[in-house]
Amino acid sequence: MRAEKLYDITQLSLMMGDAEGIRMMLNIFLESTPKILLELNEGFTTNDIEKLSRCAHKLKASLDMMKIETLYNTIRKVDRYENVISNLDQLPSIIEKINTTLEAVFAQLRDEPLLKDQV
């Protein structure tokens, strides 16, 4: 049984207008998001809340555009310094959820027909 798709590119398609544009954005997402995620994890492990929140804030717009609904509220719990502070007790589970969801999204994206079609 195929896992439920964690993202939806309808909004992105509207914004970009054509397949070429969508493909370009999906590639950028696959290239840039892991780097930001890595920095976010560094912020978490080094207790650098400033760095953690800045990375989460940076991710927020991309995740919204990709319609990754699972992370809609989660990312907003850490996208600002004061939000991180008020969710400190849940922080490990929040970071865990962001990591696992995004890893799954990356995997699903690699199977995205639009990307497989590219030469």
Partner 1 sequence: MSAFKVFVVEDDPFYGEMLKYHISLNPDYVVEKFETGKEVLNNLYKNPSVISLDYSLPDMSGLEVLRKVKENYPDVPVIIVSGQEDVSTAVNLLKEGAYDYFVKDDETKDRIWNALKNIRDRIKLEKEIDVLKEEIGKKYAFGNIIKGNSAEIKKVFTMIEKAIGTSIIVSITGETGTGKDLVAKAIHYNSNRSKFPFVAINVSAIPKDLIESELFGFEKGSFTGANYRKIGKFEEAGKGTIFLDEIGEMDLNMQSKLLRVLQEKELTRIGGHSLVKVEARLVVATHRNLAEEVQKGRFRQDLYYRLLGLPIFLPPLKERGNDILILARFFVDDFCEENNLPKKSLSHNAQEKLLSYSFPGNVRELKAIMELSAVMSNGDVIDDSDISFSSPDRNTDFLLDQDDTLQGYTRRIIKYYLDKYDNNIVRVAKKLDIGKSTIYRMLKNKEI
Q: For residue 73, give every residue at least 6 positions away whose Cβ sits within 8 Å of its Cβ, in sequence order, or none.
A: none
* Residues 114, 26 contacting (CB under 8 angstroms): yes
Stretch that binds partner 1, among 42-50, 56-64, 87-95, 105-113 (CB under 8 A): 56-64
* Contact call for residue 40 and partner 1 (CB under 8 A): no
Q: According to CB under 8 A, which one of 6, 7, 9, 29 is a site residue for partner 1?
A: 29
Q: According to CB under 8 A, which one of 58, 83, 87, 115 is a site residue for partner 1?
A: 58
Stretch that binds partner 1, among 28-36, 83-91, 94-102, 111-119 (CB under 8 A): 28-36
Q: How far is CA 110 from CA 10, 72, 74, in A?
A: 17, 22, 24
Q: Which residue in the block uniquely carries the two structure tokens 């502070």?
A: 85
CA distance 18 to 2: 27
Residue 30 C-beta: closest distance to partner 1, Å: 10
CA distance 41 to 35: 10
Residues that bind partner 1 (CB under 8 A): 11-12, 14-17, 21, 24-25, 28-29, 31-33, 36, 54, 57-62, 64-65, 79
